[in-house]
A and B are shown apart, each in its own frame.
Chain A
């Protein structure tokens, strides 16, 4: 920061020439330097220095934490992914791209992506339910705050608790079977034990848990639409259905687009619900569960890191393709 004072110009260069030359590279330097010469004996130099440093100091905390806890571990992950580390040894041998080669050649690793399709399909149901209720509850409905609360509530529950609750729900003779028996369905399937049903049960649990989040996003977006539009539409005699298609849907298209990105990224990296409820058994293992098993059950942290990196790249790629195919259109309601 010695550039801030004119005296800091290199001794061999004339100060008059060097100051503007530098200012082109470092915006703001010149102004400060000029201020310094224009008001000699003004504010103390240290104070000015601190004043200019302030924004950087504010930034440094957040950026520092981000670098320390996000980017540094991510870099470490890349490093692990090119070693044969077993997760505990003090030496890590460099093996180049062997791990990546294994990720792409071992069919057992990529097979589990089929499981993600269940969650992807379920995310459509999730968004439809959320959109339906968000639309209804954005109009003045009886007990609307109460229903809003009920719909958002599942999202507030810890994922582990949700897992356990549904574990009891799905047990043979558990809550779900009891309720079905009231309606005369005496012979329910094994919700988790049947390999054809287990992933739907788990995806259903996931829908129950995350609908609240979509709901709140949609509700917020719908409520940001100016109220006059509805009034005008009503004066023109538009039905609720027409209002939905002409005002609400285009008005919240961005949020729906965002939810889609989250849904795809989310269904590729499903973890906690299947992990807690089945531990990935019975064909319900997702890619993240398999990565975890590779790292800690089979002690191949190098390979698992490569899997994690590949998942990261896939998620980025999917998001990028989606953005390219459906660009962020400017919403215009007028």
Chain B
């Protein structure tokens, strides 16, 4: 009996040690462990691209990488709910060596990430720097970039008799009405149930008014849901389209995977998504027995003095964990993977390396005369201001909740109308501006 009891104590103690071990550990403070050090050791890459982990694409990258840096062992971990899971994982010290920067405030970068250098030193080489920059220090490099706009099925638009791509809200509604009248396709699919596709159109912020400072303009406007602003145009387009009955009949049962096939085969005419979706839609079209050439991409239907603009912005930014044991290897991986791996070419994304050409998928945009624009970095001290106000007011600009309500109101499933809801949003926004400032 006594021996068993003692064994119990030993076990419990061991468990205790193991548990407390989780909390501590994680070196990374050794003097020679810097991003300029020797490129060697083991690194773990945490990624949201679970598909590329499973089909071996990343493994092939690692082999290629090892030809240049033979002393590094690269392993991958794909997380399906990346944004959600990283948030809890960041409270430990064990979140891999290379990560995509999750939804954290710029002021918090230094708590979790290794600084990579002065932003100014990267400006000649890379695009999309502002999102991962704080007070002139760069913390990450975008893995790839996208243009924002609308993915649509060219064949359906032709059948419907739409000859010119819409450049205003009125033209957009007229075009979709033609689709509704002349074809069997659903003119605009919101993907309401899955939620996140609803958030994609917000990335057009700035394109409507050609304002590269749009996030800060919005953060400093006490009534941003007023005619003439970016966010008003973006949300109004969704509202009016739903109100006109030009979206799916039952938004509560939408299905993202199915919607890709349906857009490819012409059962859906359009979705407001980033250009990253084009290659997925093309694959889905071919799987469904249609042609990849049917998939087109247009800019958000708005124009400034006759010119349309499309915002290009970075995807997740790759960064080195502060707690990494092989910071130099992690940094070497990031530089290699964004410029040498061929990832952006394969995925049809805009390369973060300035010298590289735009992908084929965006040729359509340049043919239409659409100008690409990038959003400027926020002024010092105002990085993340728009996020703080959004969080405080519980208007999830980068999430689906308030837009689902918008769709509900537009389809008559919730009380209110466009004016009352936009007024409520303005009121909440102004109150939170005061809160955050005070």
Contacts and interface: CB of A to CB of B under 8 A. Distances in A.
Contacts of B103: 299
Given A57-B5, A193-B253, A281 B192 contact: yes
Contacts of A167: 253
B250 to A, nearest CB: 4
- Kindly name the residue among B6, B9, B84, B404 whose own CB sees the greatest number of chain A CB atoms within 10 A: B404
Contacts of A171: 250, 253
B154 interface: no
B408 A61 contact: no
Main secondary structure of the interface of A (DSSP, over half): loop
Interface string B95-115: 000000001110010010000
B252 A281 contact: yes
Contacts of A220: none
B195 A279 contact: yes
Nearest to A190: B250
Contacts, number: 101
Given A170-B253, A193-B413, A281-B195, A293 B408 contact: no
A172 interface: yes
Main secondary structure of the interface of B (DSSP, over half): helix
Contacts of B251: 193, 282
Contacts of A60: 8, 12
B111 A192 contact: no
B32 interface: no
Interface stretch (B133-141, B346-354, B393-401): B393-401
A192 B8 contact: no
B31 interface: no
Contacts of B250: 171-172, 190, 192-193
A89 B8 contact: no
B391 A86 contact: yes
Contacts of B12: 60-61, 64
Contact of A89 (B88, B108, B249): B108
Contacts of B90: 88
A53 interface: yes
Contacts of A88: 87, 90-91, 104, 108
Interface in B1-35: 1-2, 5-6, 8-9, 12, 19
Contacts of B6: 50
B414 interface: yes
A57 B209 CA distance: 70
Interface residues of B, number: 38
A296 interface: yes
A86 to B, nearest CB: 7
A332 B138 CA distance: 76
Q: What's the interface size class on A, roughly?
A: 35 or more
Interface string A46-77: 11001101100110110010001000000000
A81 to B, nearest CB: 17
A282 B5 contact: no
B401 A282 contact: no
A73 to B, nearest CB: 13
Contacts of A145: none
A280 B88 CA distance: 22
Contacts of B391: 86, 298-300
A297 B401 contact: yes
A198 interface: yes
Interface string A126-169: 00000000000000000000000000000000000000000100
A198 B252 contact: yes
B399 A192 contact: no
Contacts of B105: 86, 89
Interface string A18-36: 0000000000000000000
A90 interface: yes
B252 A193 contact: yes
B155 interface: no
A64 B19 CA distance: 13
Given A57-B9, A172-B250, A278-B252, A194 B111 contact: no
20 contacts: A50-B1, A51-B2, A53-B5, A61-B12, A86-B105, A170-B253, A171-B253, A190-B249, A193-B253, A194-B413, A195-B408, A279-B400, A281-B192, A281-B252, A281-B404, A282-B404, A282-B413, A297-B399, A297-B401, A298-B391
Given A53-B5, A170-B253, A281-B408, 18 more contacts: A50-B1, A50-B2, A50-B5, A87-B88, A87-B91, A88-B108, A174-B253, A192-B250, A193-B251, A279-B404, A281-B193, A281-B404, A282-B408, A282-B414, A283-B414, A296-B84, A298-B394, A298-B396
Q: Which 10 A-B pairs have the closest CB atoms?
A: A50-B2, A192-B252, A193-B250, A195-B413, A281-B404, A193-B252, A171-B253, A190-B250, A57-B5, A297-B399
Interface of A: 46-47, 50-51, 53-54, 57-58, 60-61, 64, 68, 86-90, 108, 167, 170-172, 174, 190, 192-195, 198, 278-283, 293-294, 296-300
